[in-house]
Structure 1
Amino acid sequence: MNKPGAFAEPVPSYAALSLELREHADDINTALLDLVVEQVAAYTDSANPEVLPQLERHLRDHGAVMADLIAGRKAEKLDFIQAHAESSARQRFPLEYLLHTYRCLNGFYVRWLHESILSGDTPGLNAPAVFASLTEAILDYTDRASQAATRHYLAQAQLLAAVSGDERALLLRILLEGYDESDGRVAGVLRRAGYLDGRRAFCVALARSVDPAEMLNPSRARRMADYITGLFDGMPGKQLVDVRNQHVTIIFSDTRRVSGWTAASASLASKIVPVLNKVGPAALIGISNDAPATATVPRAYREAQLALEAAHVSRRVVQFGQMSLQELMIRSSAGELMRVMPQWAEPFLSADQRSGGVLVATLKAYARASMNVLKAAAILGSHPNTVYARFDRVTRLTGLRPRKFADLTELLIVADCRGHC
């Protein structure tokens, strides 16, 4: 592939056409700009105020090159192609629309040549030969320009992705693991990222596939991260998303109040739950409570971990603030509790396992029914006498009476500890 300064071999000089292109450059460039904007909707859809002015300058630069080609001069000083491609990558302007712009450019100048040659304003020219020669030069130029733009765009995009990935990893590590507030370097990183505003609230979410093994595949984990990022496009606030420790890790932040005189906005966690519910049935997600400052983000991270541990296929998105106190206590210390279980725990749990789990299921139904035997029997689809018989069996195994609140609570704690170990 030729270098930028060696685009397209010069063609025989057609001074009249070149002069016409230069003299009417403003009108021609305006017509070309209108055509591109009409054909490539991304330019008008973009909220970036720099996109259209940059496009206009870029098309003018191409117009000058076209005049040189027609005049028989070799296309040189083409650094503007690289500069525009790299700028488009930095602005995240899609490459496909940039290439569509080059197709519009090519078609416009071919039509302009056709109309100019056939208008009769350039007597003495062999119209078919001239048109064929110049069309070939324009096609060659726009093809090489498109290749160069693609090459520079992708190189810049890869560089930006690498830098962005490094920055994300650094920010996540600082925020999730905690930091020394006296460390000026760390404070500078957080300040540049906009995280030291005292009016911001933070929330951490962790997501993984229902099958944990899928998170070991980097491309699949990255697809989940990208999909979640896309769900929050256009929403207020900041989202820091990356794959960390086989989990998609997201730190959300938004302004919780405009000033000290205004009321705090709604919980950040409650705002993101409806969005994360859209991720799909193949993902499990845990969400923390709001954290009022960067120093409390590590605590929110632990909350999200506990919430994720509580998620399952029938309860895919779990918010830490919606978990019961008993569930939180058991999940936080189930391992320790299992080491100090009472002597009756092992016979009780073994009997429940042999019975297919009906003993614990009966106790849980009784608790859900506010300790009403008739309602518990209805929940289980059993006769009340069956419930009583199971209670008697539990009493023989443990010495505890399920119809007493304190004993029922102890039995359920033991059953839940088994489920979390």
Structure 2
Amino acid sequence: MSGGDGTGTFTGTDAVRTERTRILTELLGRVDELADRAVAAIRAEIPAYDAQGPAFHADVREQVLRHYRNKLAAFLEEREVTVDDIAFTRRASMRRARAGFALADYINAYRVGQQVFWDAIVERAGGTDVGNVAALSLASALMRYIDFVSTHAANTYVEYQRQAAAEVARESRDLLETLLAGALPAGGPQLATAHAHGLGPDPRAPLVVVAAVLVGPDAGPGRDAATGADAWHEAGTAIGHLVVNGRRPLTVLRDSEIVAVAALGPGGDPGRLCDRLQEVRDRLLGEGVALAVGVSTVVPGMADVPRAHREARTALEFLPEEGGVAALPRMRPFEYLALRADGTARRLVDPSVAGLLAEDRARGGVLTATIRAFAAADLNLRAAAERLQIHHNTAQYRLRRVQERTGRNPRHIADLVDLLVAIALQDAAPRRTNPARKDWSP
């Protein structure tokens, strides 16, 4: 018999065929016992299966029984196994996928069941020469059956996962669009999706919004479409898999940006999320995927998602061409104002101050560092010198030099503020890699 789909070819003398029939008939008479043995072996080897309840184990036993009876009938009749014969595996595959089992565990459970079946064949062969030959004549048929069934089962499993993922993505996208429109989920799938991501039931629970875009060779009109799509999905998956307050953020690939809404939970501290985003960005960069990531301030609930989204997109403007992470929760108002300053603000800086700072930066920035340390030490020069690990007289000389060149005395609050503002504006000036302060947001 040939078995292009299922069982292969049976060969042998009449004695071998008679022995093979004996083995299969005896197994058919003990098929319930074999199924019990298989379930026990599966539970012993796969913790995810063992952790389930009696109803699940009964379902597994029923599947094992149907497979065993299927194989035994096909082998006894020396016929091919068809797709119709194994149609019952489709529903079982979908049940396992719906229950959240890993595909590897599902296929492993099937493998364990088949190993029990093969061990039973060898056991019933009895160790005689003709029995061993009869058992070996079944090996090819069994391997073909395993390959045939596991392929169909895995395809069904993956198909269900793909459909489920598409449904989740659709519900997530619908929820995000509702929130960005300034509305709240009223109920049904959107509300359930919100709760699954920690957004609710308290509508004023603190959250942040993250906006990310690809930069570098994977972004822009010249990118390879397939490579760019792969990088895009990899970045979206990485952000979506972050865990904040025990939940993953609501993450959607929207137009040319990735948008994530992360519920912060009690206390509303965004620091850990910012750390994780930086780790994700650095890891992706090591894999050749460059991201620009903007993080909004903490807002009190879903009603403020539109404002937070605008903030996150604004933060993207602060990044250079190679991207990075711009997190508003980690910025002081002074820094934010400097980054948002226009050309007029820079023209208001006294040319003598701007000239000194530019010259100092080219020489290593020691005067700028001294001004900052002096301000951080609350105008205590000795403390500033210790912070810089220089002699007190050296620090004093540097401040005197600043005063001589600019006419601003750092010991006077008004003059010190002028100097600090000029330094902040210099730090926030468009970098050479992003001269036009390119807006990465869509």
1:143 aligns with 2:147: yes
AA matched with 1:204:
V
Compared CA separation, residues 308 and 60, structure 1 to 2 (3 A): farther
Residue number in structure 2 paired with 1:199: 202
Identify which range, 82-91 or 141-150, moves more after superposition. 82-91
The within-5 A match list for 1:17-416 is 20-44=26-50, 52-72=57-77, 74-75=80-81, 76-118=84-126, 127-175=131-179, 178-181=180-183, 190-195=190-195, 197-199=200-202, 201-204=205-208, 206=210, 212-213=215-216, 216=219, 218-220=229-231, 222-223=233-234, 225-227=236-238, 229-230=240-241, 232=243, 236-242=246-252, 249-253=259-263, 256=265, 265-267=266-268, 269=270, 272=273, 279=280, 282=283, 287-304=295-312, 320-331=328-339, 333-335=340-342, 338=345, 340-344=347-351, 345-416=353-424
Secondary structure of 1:35 counterpart? helix
Compared CA separation, residues 240 and 342, structure 1 to 2 (3 A): same
Compared CA separation, residues 225 and 202, structure 1 to 2 (3 A): farther
Q: Give CA-to-partner distance per residue, 1:315-371, whole Å, 9 cap, x none.
A: x9886444323223323x223653552443543443434543233222111111111
Q: Give CA-to-partner distance per residue, 1:360-389, whole Å, 9 cap, x none.
A: 222111111111122223333444444344
Q: d(CA) in 2 for partners of 1:138 and 1:44?
A: 26
| TM-score normalised by length of structure 1 | 0.74
Compared CA separation, residues 128 and 338, structure 1 to 2 (3 A): same
CA contact (8 A) 1:69 1:137 kept: no
Q: d(CA) in 2 for partners of 1:150 and 1:193?
A: 28
The Cα shift of 1:206 comes to 4.1
Compared CA separation, residues 151 and 3, structure 1 to 2 (3 A): farther
Secondary structure of 2:270 counterpart? helix
Q: d(CA) in 2 for partners of 1:307 and 1:221?
A: 20
AA matched with 1:194:
A
Q: d(CA) in 1 for partners of 2:412 and 2:387?
A: 20
CA contact (8 A) 1:306 1:320 kept: no
The Cα shift of 1:218 comes to 4.7
The Cα shift of 1:245 comes to 7.7
Compared CA separation, residues 208 and 375, structure 1 to 2 (3 A): farther
CA contact (8 A) 1:215 1:247 kept: no
CA contact (8 A) 2:206 2:299 kept: yes
Q: d(CA) in 2 for partners of 1:419 and 1:50?
A: 65
The Cα shift of 1:91 comes to 4.2
Q: Give CA-to-partner distance per residue, 1:263-321, whole Å, 9 cap, x none.
A: xx332535646766765855787654543321212333455567777899xxx988644
CA contact (8 A) 2:184 2:302 kept: no
AA matched with 2:341:
A
AA matched with 1:380:
L
Residue number in structure 2 paired with 1:259: none
| TM-score normalised by length of structure 2 | 0.71
The Cα shift of 1:415 comes to 1.4
Residue number in structure 2 paired with 1:260: none
Identify which range, 166-175 or 137-146, moves more after superposition. 166-175
Unaligned runs of at least 5 residues, structure 1: 257-264
RMSD: 4.3
CA contact (8 A) 2:7 2:140 kept: no
Identify which range, 279-288 or 141-150, moves more after superposition. 279-288
Q: d(CA) in 2 for partners of 1:10 and 1:358?
A: 85
- How many residues are aligned here? 395
Compared CA separation, residues 149 and 207, structure 1 to 2 (3 A): same
The Cα shift of 1:144 comes to 1.1
The Cα shift of 1:84 comes to 2.9
CA contact (8 A) 1:330 1:416 kept: yes
